A = this chain, B = another copy of it.
């Protein structure tokens, strides 16, 4: 009734019936669910037939027939892969794009309707982010990105906002030594964003310097993704990138108001060192040889 397992199962029941409703709404366009799923997979940019089959978990015979039915309806055209004539590439036709847009509109309206049902939108969204992050934790992809791209800027914005909340004196990025974007791009360094599906949920920067070491900056994990050991994965990926770039010594600074970060560094081979810069915010300094 009130024990944790019952609460999870209540959630499962609620969500199962909601998902059922979501599926049947797709049937409103007079197309079996299987065909609709293939159409939408193609619309979302998956073009390789084998990839779609894999993503949707379909038998190759079934996949072939579904694709054929979409072709017959004039929604999809297929060509052969240019490097491998066995593989097929599927693309939407003009009519297919129209149809896909209709499905998208349906999905968006549904999502919008769901949000409209609750006055505490932000709480609801945060809850959904958290659950989606846990469910898709196996599929979080770490991607190297330009620190100026939209995903990176989103992460950094959230990071600064959080420092502002957690530091007693607040946080003003212009007073901190804001790393130059080009120092966090290969070959000087790199910037890694953790993507869960389409949502950026964490980041870390590796900033090259001219002083014989590189610095780790901007390690951030979205509140919804904490507890999934994502910080450790981001740090591991950064160390791998550093080794690739021929960097052998890493440094970082942090603040004791962020105890979980200090804890992470201490348990992953970082050694506390004395202050090596004059940034006003940090009060803890670490070093690691990779």
Write the residues of chain A forming the contact surface with B, with a CB cutoff of 8 angstroms.
1-2, 4-19, 22-23, 107-108, 110-112, 114-115, 117-121, 123-132, 134-137, 150-151, 154, 196-200, 226-228
Q: Is the CB of B115 within 8 A of A10?
A: no
C-alpha gap A9/B112 in the complex (Å)? 10
Q: Is the CB of A199 within 8 A of B18?
A: no
Q: Is the CB of B125 within 8 A of A130?
A: no
- The listed residue (B7, B22, B134, B200) touching A16 by CB distance below 8 A is B22
- CB-defined contacts of A198 to chain B, threshold 8 Å: 1, 6, 10
Q: Is the CB of B151 within 8 A of A1?
A: yes
- The listed residue (B7, B13, B115, B228) touching A118 by CB distance below 8 A is B228
CB distance from A137 to the nearest CB of B (A): 7
CB distance from A27 to the nearest CB of B (A): 14
Q: Is the CB of B131 within 8 A of A124?
A: yes
From known contacts A117-B137, A135-B15, infer whether A7 and B130 are also in contact, taking CB-CB under 8 Å.
Answer: no
CB distance from A81 to the nearest CB of B (A): 27
Q: Is the CB of A128 within 8 A of B7?
A: yes
C-alpha gap A5/B121 in the complex (Å)? 11
Q: Is the CB of B131 within 8 A of A199?
A: no
- CB-defined contacts of A23 to chain B, threshold 8 Å: 16
C-alpha gap A6/B128 in the complex (Å)? 11
CB distance from A220 to the nearest CB of B (A): 15
C-alpha gap A6/B19 in the complex (Å)? 16
Copies in the complex: 2
CB distance from A146 to the nearest CB of B (A): 15
Q: Who on chain B is nearest to A21 by CB?
A: B135
- CB-defined contacts of A199 to chain B, threshold 8 Å: 1-2, 6-7, 10
Q: Is the CB of A4 within 8 A of B125?
A: yes
- CB-defined contacts of A134 to chain B, threshold 8 Å: 114, 117-118, 124
Q: Is the CB of B11 within 8 A of A129?
A: yes
Q: Is the CB of A14 within 8 A of B114?
A: no
Would you mind naming 21 contact pairs between A and B with Cβ atoms under 8 Å apart? A2-B200, A4-B111, A4-B121, A4-B125, A5-B108, A6-B198, A7-B199, A9-B111, A10-B128, A11-B129, A12-B22, A14-B132, A14-B197, A15-B15, A16-B19, A16-B23, A17-B135, A18-B135, A19-B19, A120-B227, A127-B131
Q: Who on chain B is nearest to A11 by CB?
A: B128
- CB-defined contacts of A8 to chain B, threshold 8 Å: 111-112, 114-115, 125, 128
C-alpha gap A118/B223 in the complex (Å)? 12
From known contacts A15-B135, A115-B4, A118-B228, infer whether A9 and B107 are also in contact, taking CB-CB under 8 Å.
Answer: yes
